[in-house]
Amino acid sequence: MPSRTLILAAAAFVALFAGAAPSGDAASPWTEATIGAPTRQADFSGRLSAAQLQALMERGEALFTAKFTTVDGVGRPMATQAIIPTKSKRPIQQSFQRLPGMDSNACSSCHNDPVTGGAGDFVANVFVSEGFTNADFDTTDPQFSNERNTNHLMGAGLIELLAREMTAELQAQRSMALNQARSSGEPHTVRLTSKGVDFGAVTAEPDGIVDLSGIDGVDSDLVIRPFSQKGVIGSLRQFTVNALNHHHGIQAVERFGPRWTGEDDFDEDGVEAEMGAGDVSALVAWQAGRPPPSRIAPENDQWRRLSERGGDVFDDIGCGGCHRPALPLESLVFADPGPVDGAGTLRHGETENGAVYDLALLEWAKSLPRDESGAVLVPLFGDLKRHKIADQQVSALGNELLGQRFVDRDVFMTSELWGIASTAPYGHRGDFTTLDEVIRAHGGAGRDSRDRYVALDDTDRAALIAFLKTLVIAP
Amino acid sequence: MNNRLIFAALFALFPAAAAADAPKMDIPVLVEQATSAGIEHVYGGPWEYFVGGGAASFDCNGDRYPDLMLAGGTGPARLFVNRSVGSDNLRFAEMPLEVDEGDLENVTGLYPIDIDNDGYRDLVLLRVGRNILLKGGADCSFSNANRDFAFDGGRAWTTAFAATFEPNAEFPTLAFGNYVDRSAPGSPWGTCHDNALFRPLPGNRLSYAERSALSPGFCALSMIFTDWNRSGTPSLRVTNDRHYYRDGEEQLWRIDPGKLPRLYRRADGWKRVNIWGMGIAEGDIDADGFPEYALTSMGDTKLQTLDEEAEEGRPVYRDIAFERGATAHRPYTGSDLRPSTGWHSEFADFNNDGLLDLFIAKGNVEEMPDFAAFDPDNLLLGQHDGNFFEAGHLSGIDLDRRGRGAVIADFDLDGRLDLLVVNREAPVSLFHNHGGRTDWGTRPMGNWLQIELRQQGPNRNAVGATILVKSGNETRLRKIQTGGGHASGHAGFIHVGTGVAERAQIRIQWPDGEWSPAYRVFANNFVVIERGSSDARYWYP
C-alpha cells in the first residue's frame, strides 16, 4: 500500500501538470483558450433584466473581440466556408488563407472602425463564395468569389427588428390577398408595402397559388434579409453562425453539431462542440445592443449651414427614395432566437430557453426619436430593400461576375448611410475612397438621383457631402 | 387531451435507456389520434383479407389537402375528407360515396391516379373479385367507370397495382398483381394467378379492352414501375409471396413500348431472390439516379442497391440491409423475439433532416405461431453515415396492432409528414407529427419543400417525372410514381426535407425525358411547377 507521502506527492504531480495544460480554464491567466466556459443558455432565458442583458452583452463583447485559437476550435481542415455543412474534398493546405478563409482571428479584426463593431478598411475585405465548388480558390479572379468590404454593425438590433416587422407585414398582406381570392373566387392583387417602402405586388389565385412575378427587392418568401451588402442574411444569429465558420473555423453546434451532421467534430480539427447556443446568443445580444450611429450638429458654422442645405439637396435629388432617413419601429423587444430563421440557426420554439432582449433597457435607446404614435424612428437612411445599382453606362457597382444566393450580380441591398462619415471606404468592394466617387457610381435604380447630383453646382454637391459627413459613429 | 398531457404520457412510455442511446438527431413525435380526428375504421375479413388493407391519399375536392379512402375488406371502403385547419389537430369527416355498395366491398387496396386526364384523380380499387376503376369528379364524387373505360375487372384476387404512362400514350398503362387462384386445383399451394397488364388502345377514346397476361404470376403483393437503369423506360418490379408459389421468385418485367412484356432472366443478370414479398419501397438514398428498393418480407427486410461491380445495364442487385441496419427482422421492443412480418414499406423524410427514412408496417398475418405476435411498425431514421436507426418506440408508433397498408402524407400541410396505417381487424392508426422530441416538448425539425408538378395534356400529374432538389453539394431525388407499398398509394405534393438548407434549386425531368430549367425556391414552401413555366410558384394552405 502506498504511503501517505507518496499519495500526496502523486497528487501534487497531477495538479502541477493539470495546471500546465495548454487548455487551462479561464481562471488561468496564461490560458490559450479564449472562449472558456460556455455560456449557459438557461441562465439567460426569458425577458432579461437590465443586469442580465448587460452581463450577456459583456460576454458577447469578450467573444467578439477574442482572438480565437486552435484550443477554442479554430480551424476547419475538413470543412468549407459554406453555410450548409460541407466537407472539404481534401485537407486544406493552409488553415489561414485570405481568400476562402479562414481569414481573421477575431470578429473585431475586421469590424473595428471607428469602434469595435464598426466597419473595415479595404484591407479587411473578405471574399464571398458559396463554398460548395472551388471552395479553396486561391485567386482573386472574380469567377470564384465576390470581394466585399466589411459593414459596420452599429444599430444592428434595430435593423433586424425593422426587418422582422416588415416581413410580418408583407406576409400578412399576402395572406390577405389569399383570403380575398379564396372568398371571392377571383384573383386578387395586392401591393406589398411596409413602412412606406414598396416591394411590388403579388396576385393570389382562388386556388391558393400566388403569382410572385411582380415582387421587387425582396425574396420570394417575402422575408426581409437585411444583413450583408447583398441582403441575403436574415438575422444576426444566422450571420454569426455563418461568419464564425467562414472566418474562424469555429463551428456553432446549432448548425454543425451532430443533430444536422451526425458528427461532434464536423470540421475534424480535434475540437468538439466549438460554440454552443449560449455563446452565440451572447454574440447576438452584443451586436443587437450596439448603439446606432448618430447625426452630429457641427460646431463649425459653415459646415452646419452647408450640411443643413445638404439635407435639402439629399431630398431634392431623390436620394431619400432608397436611403430613407428613418423607418418607424413599433417595438424594441428583440426575441432571440427570432421568428424568421430556418433550421440550422436556432429558431423560435426550438429551445425552452429563448430570451427576450428589451433594447429599451439600453441607455442609447432613451434618446431615439419617436413619432406621434410612439414608434421609434430608426434613422438608418435605408429602406431594407434590394435594388439594381448598375446600368449600361454607369456600371462600376455591378462589377461582379457571380450572383449570390439567388440575387443577381448587380443587385444589392440599399446601404444604410447612418455612420457613413466614419466608415470609409465606400461601395460593396470598398474601392471608392470618397463619397463623391461612390455617389457618381450609382447606376440602375440610383441613376436618376446620381445624374441630378452630377448636374448640381459645386456648392450643392459640397453641401450634400457636408450633410453626409454629419452621419457618424460616435467614438 | 391537451398537448402537455399527450407529451407527458408519451415520455412516460419511452424507454429511457433507448432514448439515451439514440443518435443526436430529431426523432419525430408521432401522436396517434385517429378517433379524435374523426376516423374510426377497421379493415377485416376472412383469409382473403389476411393480405391487403390499403389506403389511398389524394385531394378529391381541390383544396390540396390530402383526403383519404380506406379499404374495408368485407366491409365497405370509405372516404374521409380532410377538414384539418391549422396544425394543432387533424380533422377528417366521412363523406358518403354515391357508388354501388357492392363495389365498395371486398376491396383490398386502392391507388389514386388521373386515368382519363380530366383533372380529377380517379381511384383504382383492388378487390377480391372484379377490380373497379372509380372515375373521380368534382367535390369528391365518384362513379364506376369500368364500362366507360372498357375495362374488364376480372375475377381474380388482386393485391398489387402500378401504373405508368408509356411514351406518346394518351392514357396510363395499368398493371394488376394477383394473388392465389382459389379456383385452381390444389389451391392455394402453387396456384398463383397470372398478373395482368392493360395498355390503353391507341386513340383519344379511353379503352382498356386489351389485356395481356404477365405470366407466370407468383402471388404478387406489390409492384411498381421503376426506371431502375435510367433508361427512361420504366420496368415493372414485382414482389411475390413465396408462401404460395412454387419455383417462383422476385420479378422484373421489361416493358418496352409497343412490345410484349419480357421477364429479365438469369442471362440478363437477374438473380433469384425468394422472399415472402409484401411491399416495395423505392427510394434513391444516394441520389445517383439508380434507386434502392426496400422489400418487406417475413424476417429480414431486403434493401437492394444496384451492384456497382455489375456490368452496365444489368439488373444485378446487392442486399445492403444488414450493413445499413435496415433488416428490421424482429420486434425492436417488447419480449417477443420471433421474426417480424413486414407489409407496407415507404421511404420518406419524417424529420426533415434531408435524409430518407424507411417506414415499415408490421403485423402477424393472423396467428402464425412462428412469427411475432406483438410486431410494432418500424420507423428507421436515416443517418448521415448511411445507416438507419430504429426509432419506432421513441416516436410513438409502436402500437400492438397488425399493420398492413399505409400512407405517409402531410395531412395538415405544416411541412411535417404524418402517417396513416391500416391495421387488420383493428382501428386504423393516424399519427400526427408534432415535431422533434425533446425533454420539454417538441421542437421544429429541418427545412422542407413540397412540390407539385403539372403539365398540359395527358399525364397532367407527371407520373414518371424525376424531381431533383439541389442545395449546395447535396442533391435529393424523388420520383412521381403510382404503385408500390402494400395496396396503398398517394398522390399530391411530393415532400422533400432539406435539412439546414434554406434555399434550393429544383430541376424536373418530365416523363418524356425533357429537363426543366432550374427553379430557385426558398425552403419551407409549397411549390407548384407548371411545365414550360420559367418560374415556380408558391401555394399557401
**Sequence-ordered list of residues with C-beta below 8 angstroms from that of A5, at least 6 positions apart, any chain:** none
pLDDT reported for residue A28: 84
- Res A10: pLDDT: 44
For testing contact with chain A, the best of B21, B65, B538 (most A CBs within 10 A): B538
Residues of A whose CB is below 8 A from B518: none
Single out the residue of B313, B397, B315, B324 nearest to residue B363, CA to CA.
Answer: B397
Tell me what percent of the residues of chain A surpass a pLDDT of 90: 87
What average pLDDT does the structure give for chain A? 93
**Strand B388-390, strand B378-382: pairing:** antiparallel
Lowest mean pLDDT among A274-283, B181-190, B357-366, B502-511: B181-190
Q: Over the stretch B304-342, which tens digit does the pLDDT of each residue have?
A: 999 999 998 999 999 999 999 999 999 999 999 999 999
How many beta-carbon pairs below 8 A join chains A and B?
100
Taking alpha carbons only, the member of A414, A407, A400 closest to residue A220 is A407
* Minimal Cβ distance to B384: which of A175, A221, A261: A261
Q: How far apart are CA B197 and CA B195, in angstroms?
A: 7
* A296 half-sphere exposure, CB direction, 13 A CA radius: 18
Report whether A196 contacts B522 (CB < 8 A). Answer: no
User: Which residues in chain B are closer than 8 Å to A133, comparing Cβ atoms?
Assistant: 473
Contact B500 A221 (CB under 8 A): no
- Give the chain B residue whose CA is nearest to the CA of A88: B473
Answer yes or no: do A259 and B443 touch at CB < 8 A. Answer: no
| B351 reaches A (C-beta below 8 A) | no
**Is residue B134 a contact partner of residue B144, using CB atoms and an 8 Å limit?**
yes
Name the nearest CA neighbour of A156 among A104, A106, A228.
A228
Give the model's pLDDT for residue A142. 87
What average pLDDT is seen over chain B? 95
Among the partner-chain residues A84, A208, A260, the one whose CB lies closest to the CB of B472 is A84
B108: left (phi over 0), alpha (psi -120 to 50) or beta: alpha
Which of B63, B444, B503 is nearest residue A405 as measured by Cβ atoms? B503
Residues 6+ apart with CB under 8 A from B80: B38, B39, B41, B67, B68, B69, B70, B92, B93, B94, B95
Contact A260 B441 (CB under 8 A): no
Look up residue B132 and give its three cell numbers. Answer: 373497379
> Cell numbers of B466, please?
424525376
| Most B-contacting residue of A80, A175, A180, A209 (CB-CB within 10 A), to test interface | A209
- Contact: A84, B440; criterion CB under 8 Å: no
Q: Do B445 and A258 touch (CB under 8 A)?
A: no
Q: How far is B125 from chain A (nearest CA, A)?
A: 29
Helix (H, G, I), strand (E, B) or coil at A334: strand
Contacts of A257 in chain B (CB under 8 A): 24
The mean pLDDT value for B101-112 works out to 98
Confidence band (pLDDT; 50, 70, 90) for B490? Answer: very high
**Nearest chain A Cα to B525, which residue?**
A221
pLDDT in tens, A301-324: 999 999 999 999 999 999 999 999
Binary contact (A208, B535; C-beta < 8 A): no
Tell whether A350 is within 8 A of chain B (Cβ): yes
Q: Which residues of B touch A219 (CB under 8 A)?
A: 522
CB-closest option in A132, A221, A343 to B525: A221
What is the mean predicted confidence (pLDDT) over B389-418?
98
Is B445 at the interface with chain A, CB within 8 A?
yes
The reported pLDDT for the residue numbered A3 is: 44
Strand residue runs (E) in B241-341: 251-254, 262-263, 279-283, 292-296, 302-306, 317-319
Residue A375: which pLDDT band, with cuts at 50, 70 and 90?
Answer: very high
φ, ψ of residue B365 to 5 degrees: the values are: -55, -50
* Residue B505 C-alpha, separation from nearest chain A C-alpha, in angstroms: 10
Give the 3-state secondary structure of residue B246: coil
CB contact under 8 A, A347 and B444: yes
Contact B26 A174 (CB under 8 A): no
How, if at all, do strands B525-530 and B537-539 pair? antiparallel
Q: Does A12 touch chain B (CB under 8 A)?
A: no
The rounded distance, in Å, linking the Cα atoms of A194 and A363 is: 28
- B26 reaches A (C-beta below 8 A): yes
pLDDT at B218: 98
Label residues A274-297 b or e (16+ Cβ within 10 Å = b). Answer: bbbbbbbbbbbbbbbbbbbbbbee
The CATH 1.10.760.10 portion of chain A extends over 294-325+379-472
Measure CB to CB from residue A406 to each of B440, B447, B503 and give the nearest one.
B503
ipTM over 0.90: yes
The rounded distance, in Å, linking the Cα atoms of B199 and A6 is 91
Residue of A nearest to B539 (CA): A209
CA distance A83 to chain B (A): 8
Q: Do residues B190 and B244 touch, judged by C-beta distance below 8 A?
A: yes
Which residues, 6+ apart, have CB-to-CB distance to B271 below 8 Å?
Answer: B316, B317
**Residue A18 pLDDT > 70:** no
Top CATH class of A294-325+379-472 equals mainly alpha
CA distance B279 to B487: 8
CB B444 to CB A86 under 8 A? no
Q: Does B444 reach chain A within 8 Å, measured CB to CB?
A: yes
Work out the average pLDDT over B68-96.
Answer: 96
pLDDT tens track for A315-355:
999 999 999 999 999 999 999 999 999 999 999 999 998 99
Mind listing the pLDDT tens digit for each residue in A88-115?
Answer: 998 888 899 999 999 999 999 999 999 9
Least confident window among A8-12, A83-87, B68-72, B182-186: A8-12
pLDDT at residue A13 greater than cutoff 60: no
In chain A, residues with a C-beta closer than 8 Å to the C-beta of B538 are 209-210, 212, 220-221
Q: Closest approach of chain B CAs to the CA of A429, in angstroms?
A: 25
B352–A342 C-beta distance less than 8 A: no
Three-state SS at B302: strand
Contact A387, B476 (CB under 8 A): no
Residue B540 sits at the chain A interface (C-beta within 8 Å): yes
Which chain A residue's Cα is nearest to B472?
A132
Please report residues of A whose CB lies closer than 8 A to that of B471: 84
The span from the CA of B158 to the CA of B131, in Å, is 7
Residue A92: what pLDDT? 82
pLDDT at residue A408, as a whole number = 93
What local confidence, expressed as pLDDT, does residue B521 receive? 98
Q: By CA distance, what is B435's nearest residue in A?
A: A350
Does residue A448 register a pLDDT over 90? yes
User: What mean pLDDT comes out for the span B211-224?
Assistant: 98
- Provide the pLDDT confidence category of residue B22 given band limits of 50, 70 and 90: confident
Summarised one tens digit per residue, pLDDT across range A354-371 is: 999 999 999 999 999 999
- A212 to chain B, any CB pair closer than 8 A? The answer is yes
Q: Give the minimum alpha-carbon distance from A385 to chain B in angstroms, rounded to a whole number.
A: 18
State yes or no: pLDDT of A197 exceeds 60.
yes
A161–chain B Cβ distance below 8 A for any pair: no
What's the predicted TM-score (pTM) here?
0.94
pLDDT at A327: 98
Interface of A with B in 166-205 (CB under 8 A): 174-175, 178
Residue A206: closest C-alpha in chain B? B63
Q: What residue type is B278 in one-letter code?
A: M
Across the interface, do B528 and A211 touch by the CB < 8 Å criterion?
no
In this structure, which amino acid lies at residue B88? Answer: D
* Least Cα separation, residue B385 to chain A (angstroms): 7
Which residues of chain A are within 8 Å of residue B444 when distances are taken between CB atoms? 343, 347, 349-350
Cβ <8 Å between A220 and B384: no
Tell me if A216 sits within 8 A of A200, measured CB to CB: yes
Maximum CA extent, chain B = 63
How many percent of chain A have pLDDT more than 70? 94
For chain A, positions 351-370, list CB contacts with chain B under 8 A. 351-352
Whether B438 sits inside 8 A of A85 (CB atoms) is: no
A56's enclosing H/E stretch is: helix A50-65
